[in-house]
Amino acid sequence: MALITNAIKGTLDTLPSSSYKIQYIEAAMREIAENYGFYEMRTPVFEHTELFQRSVGETTDVVQKEMYTFKDKGDRSITLKPEGTAGAVRAFLEHGLFNEAMPQKIYYVTPCYRYEKPQAGRLREFHQFGVECFGAGSAAQDAEIIILANEVFNYLGVNNISLEINSIGCPECRKKYQEALKEYFKANYDDLCDTCKGRLEKNPMRILDCKSPVCSKIAEKAPKILDYLCEDCNEHFELVKKYLTANNIDFKVNPTIVRGLDYYTRTVFEFVSNEIGAQGTVCGGGRYDGLVEELGGKPTPACGFAIGLERLMLLMDTQKTEFPERKKCDLYIASMGEQANIKASALAADLRNEGLSAQFDTVGRSVKAQMKYADKIGALYTVVLGDSELESGRAVLKNMSDGTQAEIELADFTDNFQSIVIKQAMDSLDGYGIEGLEITDILGGQN
Ligand code: ATP
Ligand code: MG
């Protein structure tokens, strides 16, 4: 029987000791995306199963093997989203965003669900940050989203991540290519896995993305799409490369990238690391000009990408990337007796109103135990309040990092506290670089 205190296989908990890292990553992504004019769209975690069958594609691994599909109590087939694009396109159509200023640029941060074999970098519940742009078919737009993804990695200090790009053409150039592929794979038919045998007639390009070792070995020598691109697609691809070069973005053309989802056309790309094992693709994306129409809209060019947050985290942890520290407790107010404890709660409220982090005792512990707690949680300053402090209106503020003490008046406590903190910082910096310094800069942590 499943142990109820064990999380479901392939899922991860993010504890308070590390959640600040993922919050930092997400905040950076949101800010960068908004600098490019992408705004957040939130869509439900489940959709009609058919939406994914139609968009991701019937012959993809995701639809054939990986979806969490179930009947709800009304006997409808529901699927937990395996990726973020389908829901975004559905919402784009449902809310008539095509009537608004084009291009429409959106981003999302969402959990995704795929029934895969859990291993490093491969989970059953994972998270994606993604962007989608509707209504721009240009190479400039492809390049812009690649530049955006690249900026995210640069900003976060991720190293050794390489950009690989390819073009998988349009339905026109693919006709000839599909024929060539069929011919090639027919010659190797007996060695293909059963799923790929079934794909041969319906969608031979999917075989190129099969994870089975035998199929991928066969796929290595298959005809390459780049040799079959029509003139327009070829020109488009050349132009994407020019934009990337002009933006000083290094890339490698990898003619074997086809991506795992059926909706891609023309430009496809991946950001890959070789430092996190077999699951090295941290970001995947590309153009999908046919999808909006496929789901019932007017023909609308579109492109996007998704970054797997857990894989990114894995890479950053492997590279020991530095993160800004978690917000700390600026002041712990220890108290003796009920009156002092009530006063502590009021002072904490004042400090919090100024954006400072303050805590006081809610357990009824001895002062000694309170100070031990303050030390454990890494409080930057402490103050002790008892009857005599309440009577005199003065207390002693202790700087926990160097043990220095200063007298502090309880009247206008928050102002006094800030003045003392700033004075101590000035003294320690000898005035150097203090200009424009905010109290929250001194106290540190993410704000
Ligand atoms: P892969 O080839 O590794 O299976 P994919 O082509 O299925 O990836 P996409 O559908 O393009 O992946 O998803 C975009 C990104 O989401 C991936 O590059 C990866 O970072 C992340 N991702 C995909 N599947 C998983 C998973 N099962 N667990 C964790 N992250 C994942
Ligand atoms: Mg996959």
Indicate which atom in ligand 1 lies nearest the CA of residue 260: 6
Q: Is 122 in the pocket of ligand 1 (CB under 6 A)?
A: yes
Q: Is 272 in the pocket of ligand 1 (CB under 6 A)?
A: no
Tokens of 320: 């020991």
pLDDT digit string, tens, across residues 294-312: 999 999 999 999 999 999 9
Q: Give 28's contacts (C-beta < 8 A, 6+ positions apart).
A: 152, 155, 156
Give mean pLDDT, residues 199-203.
90
What's the 195 CA to ligand 2 centre distance in angstroms? 15
What's the 297 CA to ligand 1 centre distance in angstroms? 27
Q: Is 260 in the pocket of ligand 1 (CB under 6 A)?
A: yes
What is the pLDDT, as a whole number, of residue 436? 62
Q: What residue owns the CA closest to ligand 1's atom 29? A: 122
What is the pLDDT, as a whole number, of residue 286? 97
What single DSSP character describes residue 235?
H
Cα separation of 66 and 209, whole Å? 15
What's the 308 CA to ligand 1 centre distance in angstroms? 6
What is the pLDDT, as a whole number, of residue 256? 87
Residue type at position 217: K
SS3 167: strand
Give mean pLDDT, residues 192-217.
91
pLDDT at 201 over 80: yes
Indicate which atom in ligand 1 lies nearest the CA of residue 116: 27
What's the 327 CA to ligand 2 centre distance in angstroms? 36
Q: Is 283 in the pocket of ligand 1 (CB under 6 A)?
A: yes
Angle at 303 between CA 297 and CA 306, to 5 degrees: 120
Q: Decide: 325 and 444 in contact? Cβ < 8 Å.
A: yes
What is the pLDDT, as a whole number, of residue 401? 93
Ligand of minimum distance to the alpha carbon of 284: 1
Cα separation of 427 and 308, whole Å? 45
What is the pLDDT, as a whole number, of residue 396? 98
What are the counts of helices (DSSP H) followed by strands (DSSP E) for the chain?
16, 16
Listed range (81-90, 130-139, 250-259) with the worst mean pLDDT? 250-259
What is the pLDDT, as a whole number, of residue 444? 57
Listed range (23-37, 148-162, 427-441) with the worst mean pLDDT? 427-441
Hey, which bits of 193-311 come out as E strands?
252-253, 265-272, 281-287, 302-308
Continuous segment of H or E residues that includes residue 243: helix 231-246
Q: Give how far the C-alpha of residue 405 lies from the chain's centroid of Cα atoms, to the nearest Å.
A: 43
pLDDT digit string, tens, across residues 267-285: 999 999 999 998 999 999 9
Listed range (127-141, 192-206, 338-352) with the worst mean pLDDT? 192-206
High-pLDDT (> 90) share of the chain, % = 87
What's the 371 CA to ligand 2 centre distance in angstroms? 50
What's the 42 CA to ligand 1 centre distance in angstroms? 20
pLDDT at 57 over 50: yes
Q: Is 306 in the pocket of ligand 1 (CB under 6 A)?
A: yes
pLDDT digit string, tens, across residues 353-403: 999 999 999 999 999 999 999 999 999 999 999 999 999 999 999 999 999
High-pLDDT (> 70) share of the chain, % = 96
Q: What residue owns the CA closest to ligand 1's atom 3? A: 279
Nearest 5°: phi and psi at 105?
-120, 125
What's the 83 CA to ligand 2 centre distance in angstroms? 10
Measured CA to CA in angstroms, residue 15 lies from 11, 18, 335, 376, 444 at distances of: 13, 6, 29, 17, 21
pLDDT at 248 over 90: yes
What is the pLDDT, as a whole number, of residue 260? 75
What is the pLDDT, as a whole number, of residue 37? 98
Indicate which atom in ligand 1 lies nearest the CA of residue 312: 20
Cα separation of 257 and 259, whole Å? 6
Indicate which atom in ligand 1 lies nearest the CA of residue 124: 27
What is the pLDDT, as a whole number, of residue 447? 46
What's the 207 CA to ligand 2 centre distance in angstroms? 13
pLDDT at 167 over 90: yes
Q: What residue owns the CA closest to ligand 1's atom 23? A: 308
What is the pLDDT, as a whole number, of residue 375? 97
Helices in 108-193 by DSSP H: which ranges?
139-156, 171-186
What pTM, to 2 d.p., does this model score? 0.92
Indicate which atom in ligand 1 lies nearest the CA of residue 283: 18
pLDDT at 434 over 60: no
Listed range (109-118, 157-166, 260-269) with the worst mean pLDDT? 260-269
Q: What residue owns the CA closest to ligand 1's atom 25? A: 122
What is the pLDDT, as a whole number, of residue 35? 98
Nearest to 67 by CA among 255, 58, 192, 75: 58
Cα separation of 341 and 326, whole Å? 27
Q: Give 304's contacts (C-beta < 8 A, 6+ positions apart).
A: 85, 88, 130, 131, 132, 133, 145, 285, 286, 288
pLDDT at 433 over 60: no
pLDDT at 432 over 70: no
Q: Is 206 in the pocket of ligand 1 (CB under 6 A)?
A: no
